[in-house]
Amino acid sequence: MKVDGLRRLLDFLDVLRENRIDFRIDQQSPDEIIVFFALVGARVEVTFDPEMMHFCVFRGSEAVQTDLAALKKLIEIDAAN
């Protein structure tokens, strides 16, 4: 049986709540809802539309940085793109 987009989203949010995972919901286009959350060692973006769900996992170091120059350089690189 095909699950509609809203039911799929609500069921997924229930799973996050049951596992006490904090999340944020955003809408960046008229036909998609994106759920953002973080796990140990990964940031996850899950996109829901009326037809499907897909996700991206961004893995990386969780080391605390204190070098302000490095932070400014990251911001400058991003702004240039």
Q: Kindly report the backbone phi and psi dihedral angles of residue 7, in degrees, each rounded to the nearest multiple of 5, phi listed first.
A: -60, -40
Domains of the chain: 5-80 (3.30.2310)
pLDDT tens-digit series, residues 12-55: 999 999 999 999 999 999 999 999 999 988 999 999 998 899 99
pTM over 0.85: no
- DSSP H or E stretch at residue 58: strand 53-59
Token pair, residue 58, equals: 């961004």
Nearest to 13 by CA among 41, 48, 40: 48
Which residues have CB under 8 Å from 4's CB, separation 6+? 50
Any idea what DSSP says for residue 51? Answer: S
Token pair, residue 75, equals: 């911001």
What is the pLDDT confidence band of residue 80, given thresholds at 50, 70 and 90?
confident
Of the two residues 60 and 67, the one the predictor is more confident about is: 67
Nearest to 40 by CA among 57, 62, 22: 62
